[in-house]
Amino acid sequence: MFGNKEKKIEKMVEKRNAAGLIHLAGDKDSVIALKAVEALGHVPGDDSHNTLITLLRSPRADMRAAAATALGTLGDPKAQAHISHMLTTEKDAVVLEAMRKAQSKLHNNE
């Protein structure tokens, strides 16, 4: 089952299926959920962008870090303001590093 969902994620990226990835981002298996969040960074569009922005506020640090990384990969400069705001309140060192790296990528895309 685990491998099956990973293959689904790959196919969703190929087909630019943001809705399917958003659904899997809520999967009970945290590995699948994180892979889906990461994959959203490869599917341009408002749905991916908005979901990743929302996930910057997740109670799970690993999800916040994955969302920040995916936003950097997505490359939409509009994400900079959201990440900057979250940097002011974030306490987790791993998440802070992911947010800083994402901001750097986004800054270079301008």
Q: What is the pLDDT of residue 104?
A: 93
Alpha carbons 79 and 102: distance in angstroms, whole number:
9
pTM for this entry: 0.93
Alpha carbons 23 and 12: distance in angstroms, whole number:
11
- 48-72: burial string, b at 16+ Cβ within 10 Å, e else: bbebbbebbebeebbbbbbbbbbbb
Q: Which alpha helices (H) appear in 1-78, and where do they start and end?
A: 2-14, 18-24, 30-40, 46-55, 61-74
Alpha carbons 64 and 60: distance in angstroms, whole number:
6
Output the tens digit of pLDDT for each of the chain's 110 residues. Answer: 456 999 999 999 999 999 999 999 999 999 999 999 999 999 999 999 999 999 999 999 999 999 999 999 999 999 999 999 999 999 999 999 999 999 999 988 65
Amino acid symbol at 20: G
Q: What is the pLDDT of residue 20?
A: 97
Q: Which two tokens stand for residue 101?
A: 């790296």
Q: 104: closest CA among 83, 90, 86?
A: 83
Q: What is the pLDDT of residue 1?
A: 46
